[in-house]
Structure 1
């Protein structure tokens, strides 16, 4: 490794506090998970959705070993499976939008800008305190635990496919603020991990997504949640 590259690597590690060791598993290997019914998992995921169309406004930050950006954005949600994500940097630079239907990107404009911020669609949903149901071919496991020091209950779900595994952990605090954590692993390696803080109404308040391999981090802080928002039909078809 050259001196210049080494200094860049060290700077990135210091900035993201994610080096040099890869993160351990979100769900401890010693925690037993039992097979669970897909219907129960689907019911749980549906409970994470808002009851109707919702508009979320937020401030965001992104950083990796080469760049550091910040700006504002909004997300329009039409349950159960549609989401529009808009973002813009300072002075409206580096802006873009995308529509996500389920686990697929219907369109992104410009796609390069969207992909640079959003690298894991399942964790985009989790960032806003929502969970997608398991795939039809996924093995479903679940479990519960109590954190001994805080006595907070943790509910764990795992949706495992041949190459991809999604873990979700909800830490509840007696009806007060909750925490939703998610982890996506591909062939055993962590692709992304998110941590979303919920408010007393179980709506997203803040979130962070880490990409250990890059390394990179995307953070957001929610400034407003509008559950009475009217979402025009054309926002799903085009950016403007």
Structure 2
């Protein structure tokens, strides 16, 4: 048990003694919320009316090969994989466990994600908007409000029902997107002012593409290092169908 959690539980116990059960239940709820997801920070940068850069999947059929590692509170795994990607909105992801063990796959077409087979892939993949973000495509649900700020060449925008505020102060669900220049670099899902999950993409120290997905509440992390990107002639239509 962490010192912070032990301290919080101690506070709750003292509340039981001093204030009774009702307030203790409220305190437990507040402790649980605080331990689930961090508070979203206020949107940084100067206000701007800049339009979000377009994000599209290239029409040319492309294969991205990668290594991956996954970890949550009870499980760890790693291995190799490949993404077969074709614009405007098709991708197939294959994951292979290290040491030649069986793997799994997922098919992403538009807003539809199909994950047959073993539960591992279901367990570690992000939801559709963040999965598309990993491939450089912004595909969050339609929202009513947008607040954008510019910090140098970094453009950040909050999308949701904001009512003149940013996502850190908004009720309900919001999305925060970050562009480095014209490249999509990060997408976050924020609920009730708390950062629930996020996906980042950008070059590593060696210049190759690195992806990271983190679910703060579920304490899940998937890291992907792209090792090779190859344009191919085409794909068999069978790869888009569930077996």
Same topology, TM > 0.5: yes
TM-score by length of 2: 0.70
Q: CA deviation at 1:69?
A: 0.6
Cα distance between partner residues in 1 of 2:160 and 2:233 = 35
Q: Residue 211 in 1 paired to residue 215 in 2?
A: yes
Counterpart of 1:16?
none
Q: CA deviation at 1:155?
A: 1.4
**Are the equivalent residues in 1 in contact too, given 2:59–2:86 (CA < 8 A)?**
no
Q: Aligned in 2, Cα 1:30/1:77: closer, same or farther, shift over 3 Å?
A: closer
Q: CA deviation at 1:127?
A: 1.8
Q: Residue 44 in 1 paired to residue 54 in 2?
A: yes
Q: Aligned in 2, Cα 1:71/1:22: closer, same or farther, shift over 3 Å?
A: same
Q: Residue 62 in 1 paired to residue 70 in 2?
A: yes
Q: Aligned in 2, Cα 1:22/1:33: closer, same or farther, shift over 3 Å?
A: farther
* Aligned length in residues: 203
Cα distance between partner residues in 2 of 1:213 and 1:229 = 42
Cα distance between partner residues in 2 of 1:93 and 1:138 = 46
Cα distance between partner residues in 2 of 1:138 and 1:101 = 25
Q: Aligned in 2, Cα 1:122/1:231: closer, same or farther, shift over 3 Å?
A: same
**Secondary structure in 1 matching 2:55:** helix
Q: Residue 167 in 1 paired to residue 160 in 2?
A: no
Q: CA deviation at 1:51?
A: 3.9
TM-score by length of 1: 0.71
**Are the equivalent residues in 1 in contact too, given 2:55–2:136 (CA < 8 A)?**
no
- Larger Rg belongs to: 2
> Structure 1 regions of 5+ residues with no counterpart?
7-18, 147-152
Q: Aligned in 2, Cα 1:135/1:194: closer, same or farther, shift over 3 Å?
A: closer
Match of 1:193 among 182, 193, 198: 198
Counterpart of 2:92?
84
Q: Residue 28 in 1 paired to residue 36 in 2?
A: no
RMSD: 3.3
Q: Residue 119 in 1 paired to residue 129 in 2?
A: no
**Secondary structure in 2 matching 1:109:** coil
Q: Residue 231 in 1 paired to residue 235 in 2?
A: yes
Q: CA deviation at 1:94?
A: 5.0
Cα distance between partner residues in 2 of 1:197 and 1:137 = 26
